[in-house]
Structure 1
Amino acid sequence: MADDAHIEEPGPADEAVARALRDAIVSVEAAVARVHEFSAEIFELVGAPGGGDAVDHHNALTRVAGLLDATGQLRATDWESVRGLGDVLADRAGRLRAHTGEVLDGLAADAPAQDRVACLQQAVETDRLGETLQLLVLVEDSLNLWQRLRLARIRTTEPDRLEHECAAIGTTLAGRVERDVGLLLRARARLASYAALKPFELVRWLSTARVKKDIARLRADLDDVAAALGSAAERALEAEDPSVAENLAELGNPVRAVSGALGDSARTLGGRAVGAGSTGVGKLGRGLHRVAEPRRRPGGDVPLTTAPDA
């Protein structure tokens, strides 16, 4: 059979696997926008320098997959142009997962507040936790595109191996999705655990502009990754402890965070501990906020210290 011959119509097994490969990642737009400036730095960080740019790889694979979808043909020259990417992509995905796991292990849930803040800043700013997860999404989608092309190639040139390869690809894909969703859930739980700090610690902690920026960045990255992972992430999040989502919603909002941390005490005070809506905070809430305010010179309004704005 000629290399450029029309590909045989897919059967039920390979059609199902091809569909699963297409649907595993819903969108990579957010990932591309987030990591296009950082991919080389992150690959260096995880021990996978060189080997080409992640966005370029994805663009090349998208082009070839688009031609396959439009014409029903996979030309030998097109396949050869991307054939060598499979091992590169699999290696990078594994390294990105390993790095993510190590960073999450460093976010100790039982350390003092000051140490935990330092760990979070290290994870976000130095270890690039959010960007690593976003880059994993992009690499995984590239690998799924490559597997689709490989499946089409096998269907054309080695049809006797098609059933075996479909089973192998399907099993591998399921394992990759499970690991990626698992990392997402771990990251959400670790970040959410910061909302369990004592009220005074939490207000002081969230008063720092730099910390609030780190939280916002990481929360946005986790939301983007969840959206990209589609139905697999949706099912996992439905089974997630509801307190995780609640705590993530509180982080970055000192008023809500303190209200949640005070819990029954706030309700015992008849809601006067923290005011509702746009009215701000009540007496106790204002007292807690003053913990985070800069000290002032006696008799004057000029702060002695200010929270860092970086």
Structure 2
Amino acid sequence: MKVQSQETAHVGKFENRYITADGQPRASVALRDPQTLWFNTGTLCNIECVNCYIASSPTNDALAYLTAAEIIDYLDQIQQRGWPVREIGFTGGEPFMNPQIIDMAGAALERGYRVLILTNAMRPMMRDGMRSGLAALQRKHGSALCLRISLDHYRAELHDSIRGKGSHARTLEGMAWLRDNNITMTVAGRTIWQDSEAESRAGYARFFAAHGFNIDAHDPAQMVLFPEMDETVKVPEITTSCWDILNVAPSSVMCASARMVVKRKGAKRPTVLACTLLPYSPEFELGETLAEAEGDVYLNHPHCARFCVLGGASCSG
């Protein structure tokens, strides 16, 4: 059913929250089962990667460091709202650039949540204070703590083409330390290469075996292959009729089960976003509290189609 009006008849793609460019009602997703609450610990990173979706770098501080006190406030809100959260995720930037990351992770673990930290496992993680903190968390909480390592390709030359010369070797060093300290690891790769998914997983499996990493490359929960998010590539808008056409359930899309907290540079308080992938899109900002973040999310961005609906990907563990 087309929904045309004077105001919407000539809108372009992804311009109207409720209506697509051809006048169809835009798909939306309800927060049905909040399982994961993400915290972006800040956009500063020790490296600058090609096509980083959040433009993290050694100089990008558009998203400021969150504090442990702010994380604890949202952990309290989870309980107050009765959200059935099982997992607390920390992303960046590079989370280990934030000096309070160990305290943040510890606060979530003490509440009984699984904790997932996304990291490149390089120098910030390998500082003495971070290593001793991680080792202490592992001794107390075991496999409830998991680090997902960004390894764009198992071959050094391809990984380094994205993250800089020598980055593969430094990440491998960090992974070896995690292995030796019994800290649970998973890996995130990318699908920009010419390999099929089967070839990619087989290659990672050989790499993990060669280095003694206890990671199952054929388990999508342990070895994530993320689709690319090149905004220059045209993607269709997702209408309400697409769910049946694509045989995709709204409940399978990430914003049905997750939210992300960020703190913008200069802001007095953090805010809650609909999605981990859209930190700079104000229309996906839902409010400062989890109560405000319980509304429906309209899929009004190319990433919604490319990454979540058509790509079938999720940042959660």
- TM-score range, shorter-chain basis? under 0.3
Q: Which has the higher strand share?
A: 2
Which entry has the higher C-alpha Rg, 1 or 2?
1
TM-score under structure 1 length normalisation:
0.24
Q: Which has the higher helix share?
A: 1
TM-score under structure 2 length normalisation:
0.24
